[in-house]
């Protein structure tokens, strides 16, 4: 996908399975929104093919009504009331659950008589979450869903996603910068950088392969044998290695091993040098 | 179901501008009716009706201008980005826009009937006879414009034709990222100022559209030609809409 001379997405090959929750991660300008826009038929790719449920979404109403894309910004007209937004959504999405939407209004503490222009940034996000969850669309996409939300509402959203997904499995893509907070939801992680797909992996496996190993240098290096070292730091006699191990680690009593939070792993993975080492080491 | 939901939402978003434009139209039209009844002879776009009366203000042109302005705003796709993100195809947006413009044209045609009666009422108060609908646009149109149904049909079809042109303008404004409301406001003021020039309305507004009019017909032929013209213009606008929505959402 090109924007004039700039390549927003390049050599991109991605396949999503049904009924999974995907975390779409990348820095600002990495190409996440471009990817989502192409998937939902909002913009046209310069070359290649983008199918949803086996067909191109562009101008295909049968496909479009199975997609609910909740953007970072709401774009609702300022004069409409929340009730009118929900009424519109009920007409657009065939699986819309009005009763669930009412419950979510209570959960996210929104008054449906309020006009859109009266909502704070967090309330706008909450409205998007209600539409996204109650749409029960086969493909539901949340782009930065927690923008402006307080910690309590964010927690309620994560719980609501898990509960509703258990009852009504569907494909959900969550694009976010609050990686650690949302990482418990992700089944699969997609990492994009500079318009390229860096990694698509099982979220749990990914976290189980990346570790901090600390202790005496000799013991740490022994434990890290066979793993790819992403970074190393010395604190006096103590060495801390950040490693990615495809087949687990050699544990010993002289080292302490800790999992790396997904956000830290993401930061390491988008470093070109580290990524190249991991690729050469055959671990990703 | 989807179109109905979209229409309901669309109406709720444009309710306020339509009320404002309707008020502007009514105030302008009543003002025009008073001017046309009190000032005769040379002046603002002199028009001579079939019954030989000259008037110095064309009530209809005001209505058409307002409608063109509204259509341009609709065409400028202010809500497109929102709608596209809500799983709506461009075809559906286009259909909703067209249906909305149709409904609005019907409403404004009814208003026009009312306004022309106001014009006639003013004239009657001035001591002239009540002339019903046979005023203003009838002199270059169907023979039987005194019939409200014929008047409505002809007026509606003009609105649709003019609206289609406005929609096309609006889409181009959006494509070139020009501030639609600003350009339209300036254009509208220039247009109103130009109406004050003698014969401007007749030579520059009426004549270019004359190919659609035919004196002496029963009005249906006029309406048909205008609707065909509108469909052609809207058909030309659709590919532009598709490209704008793609460009704008990027």
Average of per-residue pLDDT across B24-40: 67
For residues A104 and A130, give the distance between their C-alpha atoms in angstroms, rounded to a whole number: 6
Average of per-residue pLDDT across B199-210: 64
CA distance A282 to chain B (A): 36
**B44: confidence class by pLDDT, cuts 50, 70, 90:** very low
CA distance B185 to chain A (A): 22
Report the pLDDT value the prediction gives residue B45, as an integer from 0 to 100.
47
Q: Which of A71, A77, A93 sits opposite B13 (nearest CB)?
A: A77
Separation in Å, CA B114 to CA A101, B21, B33, B148, B192 = 45, 16, 11, 10, 22
CA distance B66 to chain A (A): 22
For residues B228 and B142, give the distance between their C-alpha atoms in angstroms, rounded to a whole number: 17
Report the pLDDT value the prediction gives residue A17, as an integer from 0 to 100.
93
C-beta separation of A132 from A145 below 8 A: yes
- Chain A residues within an 8 Å CB radius of B12: 77, 79-80, 84
Task: Give the pTM.
Answer: 0.79
CA distance B241 to chain A (A): 13
Write out residues 89-108 of A within 8 Å (CB-CB) of B: 89-93
CA A105 to the chain's CA centroid: 24
Of all residues in chain B, the percent with pLDDT exceeding 70 is 52
For residues B237 and B241, give the distance between their C-alpha atoms in angstroms, rounded to a whole number: 6
Rounded to the nearest 5 percent, the helix, strand and coil shares of chain A are 35, 25, 40
With H, G, I as helix, E, B as strand and everything else as coil, classify residue A10.
Answer: coil
Assess B9–A contact: CB distance below 8 Å, yes or no. Answer: yes
Report the pLDDT value the prediction gives residue A208, as an integer from 0 to 100.
83
Q: Which of A282, A219, A213 is nearest to A254 (CA)?
A: A219
For residues A109 and A120, give the distance between their C-alpha atoms in angstroms, rounded to a whole number: 12
Q: Which of A8, A58, A92, A124 to mutate to test the interface with B (most CBs of B within 10 A)?
A: A92
Report the pLDDT value the prediction gives residue B42, as an integer from 0 to 100.
43
The more confidently predicted of residues B90 and B215 is B90
Assess A115–B contact: CB distance below 8 Å, yes or no. Answer: no
With H, G, I as helix, E, B as strand and everything else as coil, classify residue A243.
Answer: strand
Q: Tens digit of pLDDT for each residue in B227-243?
A: 888 888 888 877 777 66
Indicate yes or no: CB of B5 within 8 angstroms of CB of A79: no
Q: How many residues does chain A have?
A: 284
Assess B127–A contact: CB distance below 8 Å, yes or no. Answer: no
- Chain A residues within an 8 Å CB radius of B4: 91
Write out residues 43-102 of B within 8 Å (CB-CB) of A: 79, 81-82, 84-92
**Can you read off the two tokens belonging to residue A236?**
């006096």
Indicate yes or no: CB of B246 within 8 angstroms of CB of A87: no
CA distance B175 to chain A (A): 15
Average of per-residue pLDDT across B24-53: 60
Q: In which residue ranges of chain A is pLDDT below 50? A: none
Indicate yes or no: CB of B6 within 8 angstroms of CB of A69: no
Q: Tens digit of pLDDT for each residue in B83-136?
A: 655 678 878 888 888 888 888 888 888 877 777 776 666 667 767 665 555 555
- Chain A residues within an 8 Å CB radius of B86: 69, 88-89, 92
- Chain A residues within an 8 Å CB radius of B92: 61
Q: Which of A106, A107, A115 is nearest to A85 (CA)?
A: A115
Instruction: Give the chain A residue nearest B248 (alpha carbons).
Output: A43
pLDDT beyond 80 at B175: no
CA B211 to the chain's CA centroid: 17
Indicate yes or no: CB of A88 within 8 angstroms of CB of B2: no
Assess B5–A contact: CB distance below 8 Å, yes or no. Answer: yes
Indicate yes or no: CB of B13 within 8 angstroms of CB of A80: yes
Q: Which of B119, B164, B92 is nearest to B26 (CA)?
A: B119
Indicate yes or no: CB of B87 within 8 angstroms of CB of A67: yes
Assess A42–B contact: CB distance below 8 Å, yes or no. Answer: yes
A135 burial (CB, 10 Å; 0-12 / 13-18 / 19+) is buried
- Chain B residues within an 8 Å CB radius of A67: 87
Assess A69–B contact: CB distance below 8 Å, yes or no. Answer: yes
pLDDT beyond 70 at B2: yes
Assess B19–A contact: CB distance below 8 Å, yes or no. Answer: no
- Chain A residues within an 8 Å CB radius of B82: 74-77
Q: Which of A37, A74, A92 sits opposite B2 (nearest CB)?
A: A92
For residues A42 and B9, give the distance between their C-alpha atoms in angstroms, rounded to a whole number: 20
CA distance A206 to chain B (A): 32
Write out residues 163-202 of A within 8 Å (CB-CB) of B: none
pLDDT beyond 60 at B247: no
With H, G, I as helix, E, B as strand and everything else as coil, classify residue A25.
Answer: strand
- Chain A residues within an 8 Å CB radius of B8: 84, 87-88, 91
Report the pLDDT value the prediction gives residue A38, as an integer from 0 to 100.
87
**B147: confidence class by pLDDT, cuts 50, 70, 90:** confident
Between strands A67-70 and A55-56, the pairing is unpaired
Helical spans, DSSP H, in A93-231: 98-107, 121-135, 151-167, 179-182, 203-209, 217-223
pLDDT beyond 60 at B167: yes
Q: Which of B47, B32, B62, B37 is nearest to B198 (CA)?
A: B47
Q: Which of A68, A75, A79 sits opposite B16 (nearest CB)?
A: A79
Helical spans, DSSP H, in chain A: 32-39, 61-64, 82-92, 98-107, 121-135, 151-167, 179-182, 203-209, 217-223, 262-269, 272-280
**Can you read off the two tokens belonging to residue A129?**
């979450």
C-beta separation of B135 from B47 below 8 A: no
**Can you read off the two tokens belonging to residue B183?**
């350009």
């Amino acid at each position: 996908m090109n924007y004039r001379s700039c390549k927003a997405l390049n050599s991109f090959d991605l396949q999503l399975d049904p009924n999974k929750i995907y975390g779409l991660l990348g820095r600002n300008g990495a190409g996440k929104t471009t990817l989502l826009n192409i998937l939902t038929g909002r913009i046209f790719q310069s070359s290649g093919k983008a199918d949803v449920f086996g067909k191109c979404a562009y101008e295909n109403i049968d496909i479009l009504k199975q997609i609910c894309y909740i953007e970072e910004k709401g774009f609702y007209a300022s004069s409409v009331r929340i009730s009118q937004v929900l009424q519109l959504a009920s007409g657009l999405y065939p699986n819309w659950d009005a009763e669930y939407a009412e419950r979510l209004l209570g959960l996210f503490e929104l008054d449906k008589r309020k006009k859109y222009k009266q909502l704070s940034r967090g309330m706008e996000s909450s409205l998007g979450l209600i539409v996204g969850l109650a749409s029960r669309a086969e493909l539901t996409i949340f782009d930065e869903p927690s923008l402006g939300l307080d910690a309590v509402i964010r927690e309620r959203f994560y719980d609501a996603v898990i509960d509703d997904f258990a009852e009504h499995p569907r494909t959900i893509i969550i694009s976010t910068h609050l990686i650690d907070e949302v990482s418990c939801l992700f089944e699969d992680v997609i990492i994009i950088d500079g318009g390229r797909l860096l990694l698509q992996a099982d979220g749990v496996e990914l976290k189980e392969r990346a570790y901090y190993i600390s202790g005496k240098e000799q013991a740490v290096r022994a434990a890290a044998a066979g793993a790819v070292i992403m970074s190393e730091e010395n604190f006096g006699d103590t060495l801390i290695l950040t490693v990615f191990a495809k087949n687990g680690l050699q544990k010993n009593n002289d080292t302490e091993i800790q999992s790396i939070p997904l956000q830290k792993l993401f930061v390491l993975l988008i470093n070109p040098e580290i990524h190249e080492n991991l690729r050469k080491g055959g671990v990703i | 179901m989807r179109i109905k939901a979209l229409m309901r939402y669309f109406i709720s978003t444009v309710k306020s501008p339509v009320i404002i434009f309707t008020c502007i139209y009514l105030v302008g039209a009543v003002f025009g009716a008073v001017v046309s009844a009190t000032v005769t002879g040379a002046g603002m776009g002199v028009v001579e009706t079939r019954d030989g009366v000259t008037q110095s203000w064309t009530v209809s042109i005001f209505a058409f201008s307002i409608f063109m302005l509204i259509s341009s705003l609709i065409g400028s796709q202010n809500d497109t980005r929102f709608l596209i993100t809500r799983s709506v195809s461009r075809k559906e947006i286009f259909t909703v826009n067209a249906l909305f413009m149709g409904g609005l044209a019907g409403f404004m045609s009814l208003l026009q009937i009312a306004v022309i009666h106001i014009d006639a009422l003013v004239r009657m108060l001035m001591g002239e006879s009540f002339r019903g609908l046979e005023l203003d646009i009838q002199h270059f149109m169907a023979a039987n414009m005194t019939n409200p149904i014929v008047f409505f049909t002809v007026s509606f079809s003009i609105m649709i034709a003019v609206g289609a042109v406005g929609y096309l303008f609006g889409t181009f404004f959006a494509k070139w990222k020009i501030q639609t409301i600003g350009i339209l406001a300036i254009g509208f003021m220039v247009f109103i100022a130009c109406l004050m020039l003698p014969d401007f309305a007749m030579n520059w507004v009426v004549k270019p559209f004359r190919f659609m009019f035919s004196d002496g017909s029963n009005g249906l032929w006029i309406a048909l030609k205008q609707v065909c013209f509108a469909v052609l213009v809207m058909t030309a606008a659709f590919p532009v809409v598709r490209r704008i929505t793609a460009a704008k959402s990027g």
